[in-house]
Amino acid sequence: MMTLSHLPFQGFLSDRARYARAIVVNAFAVFDDGSGAAIYAGGQFTQAGGVSASRIAKWDGTSWSALGSGITGGSFPFVSSLAVFDDGSGTALYAGGYFSTAGGVPANNVAKWNGTSWSPLGGGTNDGVGTLAVFDDGSGPALYAGGDFSTAGGVPASSIAKWDGMSWSSLGTGMYGTVYALAAFNGGGSALYAGGSFATAGGKASARIAKWTVVGDASTNHPDQR
C-alpha cells in the first residue's frame, strides 16, 4: 500500500503578493553532492522548513538546507528547472529560471552548483530558461536549455540552445515562440523533443511540438505531429 506524507515545508515564502497564497515549487532533481543522494527543490520561495533558502533548497531526508546564498537578482527571481549533468569536470546540479545571480556570482538565468559553490554557464541567456535536459547528439552528452531567450552566451539562439561544458551553440534556427519542455527519447533514433507555444521549429511549421534529431553527421530540427 502506498501512502502520501508531507515534508516540513512550513515557512516556504513567496516574494510576489499575488503568489502569497500559492507558494510554488517548480522543479525537483535528485543529486549527490558527495554526502549522499538528496532531493533538491527549486521555485520562488525564500525559506524551506524555516531555513533561509533563496529559490532552491536541499532535502536530505531529514532536514532542509540552503545552497549557499541561492538564486537572486532580477525583478522576480525564481527557479523553473533543475537537471543533473557532468560537463567533464564532475556531476553537478544545474538550475534554470529567471535570475541574474547565483551564490552572489553573476549568472544569467542558468547556473551550476557543484556541491559547494555556484558558477555561471558562460554568459548565460538574455531571457528566461524554462526547461533543461541532457541529450547526446552523437558528439557527447550536453545540456540543453529551452525558454524564451534569443541569445545564449552572446550567440543567436532562438528559444533553445546547447551547452557542451565550454560554450553555447544554437540548434539551427530554433523556435519561433517559447519552449517550456524538453526530453530526450530514442524511438527509432535518438532525438531531443521540445514542447511549448511555438509555431515553427527550424523554419518549418510545427504545432507546439518538435524534435531535434541526428542524421549521419547532421542534426535537424523538424516537426513531429504524430
Distance CA 25, CA 3 (A): 21
Element (H or E) spanning 72, and its range?
strand 71-72
Share of the chain above pLDDT 90, in %: 77
Residue 145 to residue 149: CA distance in whole angstroms: 10
pTM of the model: 0.88
What integer is the mean pLDDT of 212-220?
60
pLDDT at 218: 41
- Give the CA distances from residue 127 to residues 67, 99, 187, 207, in Å, rounded to whole numbers and listed in that order: 23, 9, 32, 23
Q: What is the pLDDT of residue 94?
A: 98
- Residue range 118-146: mean pLDDT, rounded: 97
All structural domains of the chain with their residue ranges = 8-120, 130-226
Are the CB atoms for 145 and 169 separated by under 8 Å?
no
Flag whether pLDDT at 155 surpasses 70.
Answer: yes
Radius of gyration of the chain (CA): 18
Secondary structure of residue 195 in the 3-state scheme: strand
Q: Are strands 218-223 and 200-201 parallel, antiparallel or unpaired?
A: unpaired
Q: Which of 25-39, 78-92, 180-194, 212-226 has the lowest mean pLDDT?
A: 212-226
pLDDT, position 221: 54
Q: Is the pLDDT of residue 135 over 70?
A: yes
143/13 Cα distance (integer angstroms): 30
- Name the strand (E) or helix (H) holding 141: strand 141-147
pLDDT of residue 215: 60
* Cα distance between residue 14 and residue 59, in whole Å: 19
Q: How confident is the model at residue 5 (pLDDT cuts 50, 70, 90)?
A: very low
pLDDT score of 193:
96
pLDDT over 70 at 226, yes or no = no
Phi, psi of 18 (to 5 degrees): -70, -10
**What is the structure's pLDDT at 178?**
95
